[in-house]
Amino acid sequence: MSNSVFKNKFFVFRIAVFFSLVFSASFAQPSSEESNFTSTLNYGLSLPQGILSQRSVVLYEYAFTQTELQQVQKYFQQAGIDAVGYFDVDYVLSGADPSRIYSNYFSKRVIKYLILLQKIDGLYQIIFTEYNGTKTFADKEHVSWKQSNASLAELLRTVYRFAVSSEKKANFLISDLPETGISLNFFLGKRDEKFSMDIRTSKVAIPRFGNEADDEQLKKLLEEIYPMKYDLVDPTLKESELDAKGYRFVLRFVHTRGDVARDILGYDISQTASSLSTNYFENNEPKIKTIRSKKMIYKFYFKNNEYGNIFLGSKWDADETWQDALKNHILSLKQELRILN
């Protein structure tokens, strides 16, 4: 084989690899939280009734570009679908505290429908479902509708045809552009990048996951590494209910992309790089490793049930599994507060 032929083939190979990586990045798989959410839906054959007369919000995957979102809004405007806000789905489904804030916001805005935009296995997918007015957002009691297509334009044309043929348009004052810059405050109390000394002597509420396998692992892990007073509690209990039961703190977490977790928890996102240094432990010795900021992680924190103050710890200790993230957080707590066990 001549040198020029080899160079040409190598060049073609590099180009193929490049476009393969670009395609993979553009069509990433949904997160586990997103998959769990869509698995609870009950799909039917038609759009939810009232989609052209009520308000909706769009939950989109971060792989969607601004140009694509503008294209979506253009078709929605033409059809009469009043999407009054666009939100990164990894924020909305990230945990108990953000879900409560988004739910309150949706209820105040009198949102009737949620529209989920996804990219799955080279396809664009859209899901319409009715907002149930709670922090779970949707359920099987309401009929949902989904469509997919390799072309976003074709997918949107399908939505348009179904919408205009199903009911009369009643929404007319619809924005030309998608409203993506809506900012919400996820915590009412103060935030502290250290641990509260009161955790040493206060009984902490630790919500169960709600499934037998994870709950058993949680129980075993806490028995091994958590020396203070705690109870495993019903995950649906509110902070006010936990406070009334005598729990001063609750252990919460977010499960989302690393950069999103830092934004939700109030870190300076201008300092968030493409990779994040995380504090972990090996044989009870602190170590440092890096995790890509776009990777899904768990980050735990303690929250005061009366005032809503959150305590994050002095080190970023997020990790890719909840088991590792919890271990990092508790061992960081013990190290910072000098708790011997």
User: What's the pLDDT at 207?
Assistant: 98
Mean pLDDT taken over the chain:
92
Q: Name the phi and psi angles at 30, rounded to 5.
A: -60, 150
Beta strand 249-257 with 296-304 is antiparallel
16-25, 82-91, 256-265, 314-323: least confidently modelled range = 16-25
Q: Tell me: the pLDDT tens digits for 49-60?
A: 999 999 999 999
pLDDT for 273-289, tens place per residue? Answer: 899 999 999 988 999 99
Residue 67 has pLDDT above 80, yes or no: yes
State the architecture of 26-166 in CATH terms: 3-Layer(aba) Sandwich (3.40)
Instruction: Break the chain into its structural domains and give their ranges.
Output: 26-166, 191-336
Higher pLDDT, 40 or 334: 334
Check the CA dihedral 291-294-298-304 and report its sign.
Answer: positive
pTM of the model: 0.90
pLDDT at 157: 98
Cα–Cα distance measured from residue 126 to residue 113, given in angstroms and rounded to the nearest whole number: 13
Instruction: Find how far residue 243's CA is from the centre of its chain.
Output: 26
142 neighbors 127 (Cβ within 8 angstroms): no
What is the torsion angle, in degrees rounded to the nearest 10, for the CA atoms of residue 292, residue 297, residue 300 and residue 305?
A: 120
247, 91 Cβ separation under 8 angstroms = no
Instruction: Enter the tokens of residue 70.
Output: 């503008």
pLDDT at 20 over 60: no
What type of residue sits at position 22? V
* pLDDT on residue 1: 54
